[in-house]
């Protein structure tokens, strides 16, 4: 997986709130994390955004299959 494969979901004014990945044309996985501002950063590429959120805790993971069915995990701890 490369940074180019990720979609960064941001809110105005340029605050990343989640990262989305299209999984093998079978659905989408979205990782929700602490809102992270990138408004003062002058680099707007996906690799830079990934580095900004790399140490953040994932609060929730949600997946949606192509037929619209959803599921989620909460309170994820990754060691």
Q: Which one-letter DSSP state was computed for residue 57?
A: P
Please list the helix, strand and coil fractions of the chain in percent, rounded to the nearest 5, in that order.
Answer: 15, 50, 35
Distance separating alpha carbons of residues 73 and 79, to the nearest angstrom: 16
Cβ neighbors of 25 (< 8 A, separation 6 or more) are: 66
Mean pLDDT of all residues in 20-46: 82
Mean pLDDT of all residues in 58-66: 86
Spell out the domain ranges in the chain: 3-74
Share of the chain above pLDDT 90, in %: 0
How much is the pLDDT for 77?
A: 57
How much is the pLDDT for 78?
A: 55
Structure tokens at 53: 């959120």
50 near 6, Cβ under 8 Å?
yes
């Amino acid at each position: 997986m490369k940074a180019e494969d990720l979609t960064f979901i941001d809110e105005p004014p340029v605050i990343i709130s989640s990262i989305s990945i299209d999984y093998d044309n079978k659905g989408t996985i979205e990782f929700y994390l602490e809102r992270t501002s990138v408004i003062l950063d002058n680099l707007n590429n996906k690799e830079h955004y990934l580095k900004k959120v790399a140490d953040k805790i994932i609060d929730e993971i949600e997946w949606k299959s192509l037929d619209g069915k959803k599921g989620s995990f909460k309170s994820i701890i990754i060691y």
